[in-house]
Amino acid sequence: MDQTSQASTDNAAQGRTVLRNYVDGEFLSSDRTFLNINPVDGSVIAEVSEADQATVDRAVQAAQRALSGPWGKLSVQERAAMLHKVADGIEARFEEFVAAEVADTGRPVQQARTLDIARAVANFRTFADLAKTANTDLYEMHTADGAGALNYTVRKPLGVVGVISPWNLPLLLFTWKVAPALACGNTVVAKPSEESPSSATLLAEVMRDAGIPPGVFNLVHGFGKDSAGEFLTRHPGIAALTFTGESSTGSTIMKAVADGVKEVSFELGGKNAAVVFADSDFDAAVAGVMRSSFTNAGQVCLCSERVYVERPIFDRFVAAMRERVGQLKLGFPHEDGVDMGPLISHGHRDKVLSYYRLAREEGATVVAGGGVPRFGDERDQGAYVEPTIWTGLPDTARCVREEIFGPVCHIAPFDTEDEVVARVNDSDYGLACALWTNNLTRAHRAARRIHVGLVWVNTWYLRDLRTPFGGVKLSGLGREGGRYSLDFYSDVSNICIKL
Ligand SMILES: O=C(O)C(=O)/C=C/C=C/O
């Protein structure tokens, strides 16, 4: 491992950029690298230095030391001020972060600007301020001797927090975890997805330049078996682990941390429903379901892959969706008005296309899409798929029950509220649901009956960062957001004083 002060270097021999790990304030290359591929055209963006067990050990040890260094002595106000400086640093290099995110994912530049990087800044600022202003509990207690007792709660750092984040909203989700973990006084060893390492690596430079002390924030790259993610999960020096990704991986991580009885926060998969009642604002519902089905090429854990439409408007709704899907512009990230980019990788595209084939085998009517677009240029080497709509499948179909994580939805009619609530709840997942209705009483009633962590009514993915975020069943464990993050990233202790 050679140590340098820069997040990346040029591999002159190959003419490639090499992304580094960041451990104890130093950027480390390694003799093992993997390729980071641009999903727009299949080109190589960079080589990524893979962190071996020794590097992960070094990172955890540095993070442990940092807890008792200057970082551990900061007041919450001083910590918050540093996190605001990190947010300032992201803003100062905003376009570099946009470019990094777009290179790794091929998403429209407009989305990277208005969602991904903007939310990274918001995540740091929100949790810096929440940590400063959050209250804790105090209970005055009556006692038999009449003197009473006082109970008050204190939040203390957990220690070293392990972060494993996904490729679908890379910097948004990476900072959704790193920001509160640091705001609560912890130190962090974080592993971004191998599919989207660039923005997290750039963040390491911003952390260093903002004055975050060495060892407080550490970044390790890797993927697959026997790699940084596993080393991190199993490491005895990790006090808690937060993970966003597939449910099956979450289950594997849970087994790995079980012996150490570590705290885990999981934001996992979903097979989310959108429910459109006949009394909804039709155009708003069409626009909303287009967003919730095709945003980020359907690669958001909150996307609607199941759409239920009340029968009187079913045919009209399907026709409107078919027309709108035909108008979606698939293109290069920098093109004006582009709605959708490629999937994250050829591997993920193979998975989505396997469901496109399965749907036909299960008897779906392919209302729109169902294949691979042909551009006649370098995008044909990318990972694009057509946005797709199905109808006609039974609720038991695999395409209606399994998470596909692509730009696709199945639309089915329903007749009564009781029926659709039961069908929405008939799922192994329970993350999010979007309801479209102008009947206020029904909105409240149905929202409470649906077994998920997040319900949106007449909107989708409208986020107040103070609210709890997470799912039930296979969609996850725990809640993050607002004080829920403060409670997860802290040891909460009660102190009882006898008066
Ligand atoms: O918006 C958020 O804070 C969030 O966690 C989004 C998660 C999306 C997962 O695919």
ipTM over 0.95: yes
Distances (CA, A) of 82 to 28, 77, 88: 24, 9, 10
From 3.40.309.10, 3.40.50.300, 3.40.50.1000, 3.90.550.10, which CATH number describes the 272-464 domain?
A: 3.40.309.10
- The CB of 469 under 6 Å from ligand 1? The reply is yes
Give burial (CB, 10 Å; 0-12/13-18/19+) of 85: middle
The two tokens of residue 160 are 């070293």
Q: CA–CA separation, 45 vs 196, rounded Å?
A: 11
Residue ranges for the chain with pLDDT beneath 70: 1-5, 11-14
Q: CA–CA separation, 389 vs 314, rounded Å?
A: 13
Closest CA to 115 of 168, 60, 62, 164: 168
| Cα of 461 from ligand 1 centre, angstroms | 8
| Cα of 151 from ligand 1 centre, angstroms | 35
Q: CA–CA separation, 251 vs 248, rounded Å?
A: 5
From-to residues of CATH 3.40.309.10 in the chain: 272-464
- The CB of 168 under 6 Å from ligand 1? The reply is yes
Closest atom of ligand 1 relative to the 463 alpha carbon = 1
DSSP three-state, residue 391: strand
Q: CA–CA separation, 492 vs 155, rounded Å?
A: 5
Q: How far is CA 183 from the centre of its chain?
A: 19
- The CB of 167 under 6 Å from ligand 1? The reply is no
Tell me the β-bridge partners of 390: 366, 410
Give burial (CB, 10 Å; 0-12/13-18/19+) of 416: exposed
Helices vs. strands in the chain: H and E counts, helices first: 17, 25
- Contact between 167 and 105 under an 8 Å Cβ cutoff? The reply is yes
Give the pTM.
Answer: 0.97
Tell me the β-bridge partners of 19: 8, 48
DSSP output for 266-284:
EE----EEEEE-TTS-HHH
Tell me the β-bridge partners of 154: 493
From-to residues of CATH 3.40.605.10 in the chain: 3-268+476-498
| Cα of 285 from ligand 1 centre, angstroms | 22
Rounded to the nearest 10 degrees, how much is the dihedral formed by the CA atoms of 178, 176, 261, 431? -170
Which residue is catalytic, options 47, 230, 267, 403?
267
Distances (CA, A) of 188 to 169, 201, 220, 411: 20, 14, 11, 43
pLDDT for res 465:
98
Closest CA to 285 of 253, 261, 263, 317: 317
50 belongs to the catalytic site: no
Architecture of domain 3-268+476-498 in this structure? 3-Layer(aba) Sandwich (3.40)
* Type of residue numbered 487: D
- The CB of 302 under 6 Å from ligand 1? The reply is yes
The per-residue pLDDT for range 169-218, each reduced to its tens digit, is 999 999 999 999 999 999 999 999 999 999 999 999 999 999 999 999 99
- The CB of 169 under 6 Å from ligand 1? The reply is yes
| Cα of 204 from ligand 1 centre, angstroms | 21
Shortest-distance Cα residue to atom 1 of ligand 1: 463
Q: CA–CA separation, 407 vs 324, rounded Å?
A: 13
